[in-house]
Structure 1
Amino acid sequence: MRLSVLCLLVAVVAIFAPSVRADIYRAVAADGSVMLTNVYREGRNYVRVRREAATRSAPSSKRQTAARARPFVELVMAAAVEHDLPEALLHAVIQAESNYNPMALSKSGAAGLMQLMPATARELGVDDVWDPESNIRGGARYLKRLLGMFDNDLSLALAAYNAGPTAVINRGKVIPPYAETLRYVPKVIEHYQRLQAGEPATLL
């Protein structure tokens, strides 16, 4: 993983839990893949790379203004409340996945605002992936599930959203060394960081 990507992840991995203290740890897997996390797990060869005394972020009113000055704001707000997720995080995922195009379709068949794969959409109970409300609610439900699966480790949850949870689990719960995933995780976190700081990220 390039140094710039590592630096970005170190700088922002703790922002998902703004009210708690969080040290940042780095672990390198046998295949060379790197994980940066605020979740310490016993039995791992972790190196603490940063001690975080407290997360400094913009006032909540400024963050809310940044997140809400975007498309589909009411639908995102409702899904965020329903699944206890930050609005800014859902906006960051939508921006990275589809750039707010509800008709986006990837070569692999992922569809809609949050780019749900057909099997995932069916499993989540999303009947119409092209309907913005259904797609956002399904994507939020899936993201919340992944955060629970990976102990609220945002970087791993995002890697699983992009590459699938099996790819993350099979590598010992580290970000798999796929070029797309290594770009995707810091990209989403950067968008999320900007919104948390009250700086609306520019649409692609």
Structure 2
Amino acid sequence: MGCRLSVGRSACLLGAALLAAGSHASIAANDEPAAAERAAVGVIFADHARYLAGVAVAHEHGEGVAREPARAAALYCESARLGNVDAMYALGWMYANGRGLERNDAYAGTLFAMAAFFGHPQADQMRRYTGDYVGAVPDCLQPPPDESLDPGWSAEAHIAALSAQRKQLARLVVDLSAEYAISPRLALAIALTESNLDADVVSPKNAMGVMQLIPDTAARFNVRKPFDPEDNIRGGLAYLRWLLAYFRGDIAMAAAGYNAGEHAVDRYRGVPPYAETQAYVARILAFMQRRKHAYDSRITEPSPVAPALQLVSERGGGS
């Protein structure tokens, strides 16, 4: 929630409570009282973000308080994390002009891209001077890191109940996951959800094998023998690694991309409104019990809507 920023303990605690409330409300998406609660939480988010942006303006210009550009930047950043478009633009402007912060056109480009995505009228024009979003995100906008590969979680506890053949495939998934820097827990979640560890299954859409690779994906990741378990699993893990990089470690978006394709996630700016994909993502998240995963940014450029997807994810949406 960014409580390391100079916003004040009460604002941090309120923001953390709001994020928790938004995440809780998202569980019952089809329940009318829950929908009303989500709407109310959204209003509170917006009001608090607007308040922070107002205080930031005062500190930036010295209006009734001491002029403190660094404090203004911290407040703008916290407001931006809560979805305030004016704060995204204002912080981008500070980075673009080196006002109270070291000039950083890459950070400014990210913030202007975020603001433009949400309809800020001047943001697109500013991007002409700073450049487009290239994956650089200010530290204050980063979610709390979750880089662990599930310490204390045992794959054996999940493998033990499987049949002998599926045990063998599950262990292959877990063993190969390390080569692709993917949590064995996530790799196993995908394999179980895709095929229940059946190396011979073919779906109505011609998705093949353990990781249910369609022909285009198999070709894209150099899978020559899609019904060979190791070749198939390697292809699926390579695609999953790519998706994690593309969606900057967001497990929900990566899972949605695996099921429906990354272009569908980009088009809908979140988990697509397909019943199958939504159920798929819910199952993966229930298995994982977290939303973030380490990723290698060198693998691919980020999704063009990655900044907006991060906001959706942190506010408990998109799943």
Q: Same fold (TM over 0.5)?
A: yes
What amino acid is aligned across from residue 60 of structure 1 in structure 2?
P
Note the C-alpha offset of 1:159: 0.4
Unaligned runs of 5+ in 1: 8-24, 28-40, 46-51, 195-204
Distance of 1:26 and 1:135 partners within structure 2: 41
The aligned residue for residue 157 of structure 1 is 254
Preserved CA contact (<8 Å) 1:168 1:175 = yes
Aligned to 2:211, the other structure's residue is in SS state: coil
Work out which of the residue numbers 210, 213, 218 in structure 2 matches 1:121: 218
Aligned to 2:154, the other structure's residue is in SS state: helix
Correspondence 1:75-90 to 2 at 5 A: 75-90=172-187
Preserved CA contact (<8 Å) 1:113 1:132 = yes
Correspondence 1:10-159 to 2 at 5 A: 42-43=114-115, 60-67=151-158, 69=160, 71=167, 72-159=169-256
What amino acid is aligned across from residue 220 of structure 2 in structure 1?
E
Note the C-alpha offset of 1:101: 0.8
TM-score (norm 2): 0.43
Note the C-alpha offset of 1:191: 2.6
Note the C-alpha offset of 1:77: 2.9
Mark the CA change 1:86 to 1:150 in structure 2 (over 3 Å): closer, same or farther: same
Number of residues paired by the alignment? 156
Note the C-alpha offset of 1:54: 9.2
1:177 has 2:202 as partner = no
Structure 1 residue ranges, 4+ long, deviating more than 6 angstroms after superposition: 4-7, 52-55
The aligned residue for residue 3 of structure 1 is 28
Note the C-alpha offset of 1:115: 0.3
Distance of 2:195 and 2:240 partners within structure 1: 16
Mark the CA change 1:190 to 1:121 in structure 2 (over 3 Å): closer, same or farther: same
Q: Between Structure 1 and Structure 2, which shows a larger proportion of strand residues?
A: 1
Aligned to 1:185, the other structure's residue is in SS state: helix
1:189 has 2:285 as partner = yes
What amino acid is aligned across from residue 101 of structure 1 in structure 2?
D
Distance of 1:188 and 1:122 partners within structure 2: 25
What amino acid is aligned across from residue 141 of structure 1 in structure 2?
A
Mark the CA change 1:143 to 1:62 in structure 2 (over 3 Å): closer, same or farther: closer
Aligned to 1:141, the other structure's residue is in SS state: helix
Preserved CA contact (<8 Å) 2:155 2:174 = no
Distance of 1:83 and 1:150 partners within structure 2: 16
TM-score (norm 1): 0.65
Note the C-alpha offset of 1:5: 8.6
Preserved CA contact (<8 Å) 1:109 1:118 = yes
Distance of 2:28 and 2:152 partners within structure 1: 33
Alignment RMSD: 3.3
Mark the CA change 1:61 to 1:151 in structure 2 (over 3 Å): closer, same or farther: closer
**Identity across matched positions, percent:** 34
Distance of 1:85 and 1:4 partners within structure 2: 30
| 1:43-77 CA distance string (max 9 Å, x none) | 477xxxxxx9898x9x8344343355462244223
Distance of 1:85 and 1:3 partners within structure 2: 30
Distance of 1:130 and 1:26 partners within structure 2: 46
Q: Between Structure 1 and Structure 2, which shows a larger proportion of helix residues?
A: 2
Distance of 1:5 and 1:186 partners within structure 2: 14
Which of the two has higher C-alpha Rg? 2
Mark the CA change 1:4 to 1:67 in structure 2 (over 3 Å): closer, same or farther: farther
Preserved CA contact (<8 Å) 1:67 1:88 = no
Distance of 2:218 and 2:82 partners within structure 1: 33
Distance of 1:177 and 1:120 partners within structure 2: 22
Distance of 2:257 and 2:170 partners within structure 1: 25
